[in-house]
Amino acid sequence: MSERKKVLLPTLFKKVEKGEPITWLTCYDYPTAYFQEQAGVDMILVGDSLGMTMLGYDSTLPVTMNDMIRHTQAVRRGSPNAFLVGDMPYMSYQASSETAVLNAGRFMAEAACDAIKLEGGAEMADRIAAITAAGIPAIGHLGLTPQSVSSLGGFRLQGKGALQAKKIIDDAKALEEAGAFAILLELVPDRVCQIITERAENCIIMSLGSGPHAHGQLLIYHDLFGLYPKFTPKMAKVYGNAGEVILNGLTQYVHEVQNKEFPERSHYFGMKNAEYDELVKLLEEEDKPF
């Protein structure tokens, strides 16, 4: 197990100050969290994308707070030291600031999170302010916000036009002023991300498919390793095709069992002759007719 120090909010701001990019990945389960901890990933997001990557839904909308808490607890067990962010699922914060605070509190109390993330611009500033006032660090999420994918017209670049880009820049300022300590920009043009990063005064700007000018980068873990069978977005770099490795292994397993090549002698356990003879004797005695 790695002995690294726990990543805290000041650790992240120190990195920004020194110009060291922050690393951030999604994660949804214990073994992956363990590997991310060993690799030294700074931040982990238990995203509501788990609805698609882990639960097989077509969108993130059916994901519940209970789903999120269960997965976040597993991730925390695998990674005690990364800065852990719980993603507020659909309708866990939209209805009111009060529900937002209560659900954000669940992430902190039940899953030992360090912060929460929620989607939306100026219209969500009061939720960010209420959560922050409750002592819970909050991250905003702008650009492509998957919970609003229907009104955004699909999974596509946001802020291509000047007016839309200006709105994203204004939204970022509103979230920062409301108290967000970080903002994730998903799928916005690199120069829009650059402007927001340069204008941020006390706010960490993270990029998901929004270019290199942010303070750090986020990717979806499943996209890094070819683990989501439906598609791999252009913004993801594939670092290894684990999906292919797993499929080859599974096909070989099926073949070997069917052809009686598995198990080999090293994969099972025997019994001492004396014990076996005793067992046979016991069974024979049991089988004797009265």
Tell me the C-alpha distance between 252 and 246, whole Å: 10
Backbone phi and psi for residue 128, each to the nearest 5 degrees, phi listed first: -60, -45
According to the binding rule CB under 6 A, does residue 146 interact with ligand KIV? yes
Q: Exactly one of 23, 36, 49, 103 binds ligand KIV (CB under 6 A); which one?
A: 49
Pick between residue 145 and residue 279 the one whose CB is nearest to ligand KIV.
145
Q: Which of 28, 33, 25 is nearest to 78 (CA)?
A: 33
Pick between residue 55 and residue 250 the one whose CB is nearest to ligand KIV.
55
* DSSP character at residue 56: -
Q: Exactly one of 68, 193, 208, 214 binds ligand KIV (CB under 6 A); which one?
A: 208
Identity at 40, one-letter amino acid code: G
Pick between residue 131 and residue 220 the one whose CB is nearest to ligand KIV.
220
263: preceding bond cis by omega (within 30 degrees): yes
How many other C-beta atoms lie within 10 A of the C-beta of residue 277? Answer: 10
Tell me the C-alpha distance between 33 and 157, whole Å: 29
Catalytic residue among 123, 186, 201, 278: 186
The tokens 């852990």 sit on which residue?
Answer: 84
According to the binding rule CB under 6 A, does residue 26 interact with ligand KIV? yes
According to the binding rule CB under 6 A, does residue 121 interact with ligand KIV? no
Give the binding-site size for ligand KIV (rule: CB under 6 A): 11
* Minimum CB distance to ligand KIV, residue 24 (Å): 9
Identity at 65, one-letter amino acid code: M
According to the binding rule CB under 6 A, does residue 210 interact with ligand KIV? no
Pick between residue 48 and residue 176 the one whose CB is nearest to ligand KIV.
48
Question: Are the beta carbons of 136 and 116 closer than 8 angstroms?
Answer: yes
Asked if 186 is an active-site residue, the reply is yes
Residues that bind ligand KIV (CB under 6 A): 26, 45, 47-49, 87, 146, 184, 186, 208, 220
Q: Which residues are catalytic?
A: 186
